[in-house]
Amino acid sequence: MQIVSAQNPKIKDLLALQDKPRLRREKALFTVEGQRELSHCMEAGYEADTVFVCPEIAGDFRAPQGAKVFEVSRTVYEKIACRGGTEGVVAEVKARPHSLEDLPQRDNPLIVVLEGVEKPGNLGAVLRSADAAGADAVIICDPLTDIYNPNLIRASIGAVFTVPVAVCTSEEAIAYLKERGIKIHTAQLQDSREYYDTPMTGPVAIVMGTEATGLTSVWREAADSHIRIPMLGRLDSLNVSVSAAILLYEAVRQRMAGKNTTISSDGCRA
């Protein structure tokens, strides 16, 4: 079946799903735009419900097995696509829960924790950094945005599917980390030391809050150490996604250095 009108009920439903978090929760569906992102999504074990394909753009794209497929005209595709260069594919995908219990249990984990981060673009960028650094999981606490927000999925370029993600309260995350002996390093300016003088070779969670207010007291009190990135300019804040990349790659550097770099228990280099 080909859809040539943006007034088609299925197109209206798709647009509503893109715009309304409440509808995504009620229907347990979300949208994925682009062949690359959809490929990552399917590889992560999600199930596509409906796929809208513009043959003129999509080329020899093959829809996931079992999905309902509708061909759309270029005009309709331009209506449902939020950005250019997405290869002529938009899909409705079945959501699934993101609980702490579903996270993989790995030796010596490196975990990113975000508390109350609101901007989908920032969350997506952190997920990209987590994927690049080989982080074992991202835990999103008390989120102010929907993990299936289309802007988050786009900003992550599919990393929301390649990195294990859990959504929970801060209290639940703290209990989870403590029970597993994972050190909690909170990124904050107050009562902290430089991040590169903090051991990150063992099981660690790097915890960050919003740029405006930082972390709540529950995290600061639960932390094993408080770390900071030196700010040498006039401003006292970095974008949370930039901060995440810096801290993640310090952990990667320490872990790769192995015996060549030793950081003692008091945080000093040896």
Task: Enumerate residues 6+ apart whose C-beta is below 8 A from 143.
Answer: 114, 116, 117, 123, 167
**H helices, E strands: number in the chain:** 11, 12
Distance CA 184, CA 84 (A): 40
- What are the respective helix, strand and coil percentages of the chain, to the nearest 5? 40, 20, 40
- For the chain, domains (ranges, CATH) are 2-94 (3.30.1330.30), 100-260 (3.40.1280.10)
At 185, list the tokens: 């390093």
List CB contacts of 145: < 8 A, sequence separation 6 or more: 117, 118, 119, 120, 123, 152
Q: Which two tokens stand for residue 113?
A: 């924790």
The confidence score (pLDDT) of residue 267 equals 45
Cα 64 from Cα 156, distance rounded (Å) = 21
Report the DSSP pairing between strands 89-94 and 137-141.
unpaired
pLDDT at 260: 56
Long-range contacts of 81-84 (CB under 8 A, 24+ apart): 81/33, 82/18, 82/33, 82/150, 82/151, 82/154, 83/33, 83/154
Separation CA 211–CA 163 (nearest Å): 23
Cα pseudo-dihedral 168, 171, 173, 179, rounded to 10: -140
| CA distance linking residue 266 with residue 57, whole number of Å | 58
34, 1, 253, 13: which is closest to 155 by C-alpha?
Answer: 34
For residue 110 the two structure tokens come to 């490196």
pLDDT for the residue 194: 92
Q: Tens-of-pLDDT digits for all 270 residues of the chain?
A: 789 999 999 999 999 999 999 999 999 999 999 999 999 999 999 999 999 999 999 988 999 999 999 999 999 999 999 876 668 999 999 999 999 999 999 999 999 999 988 889 999 999 999 999 999 999 999 888 889 999 999 899 899 999 999 999 999 999 999 999 999 999 987 788 999 999 999 999 999 998 777 789 999 999 999 999 998 887 767 789 999 999 999 999 999 987 454 444 444 444
pTM for the structure as a whole: 0.89
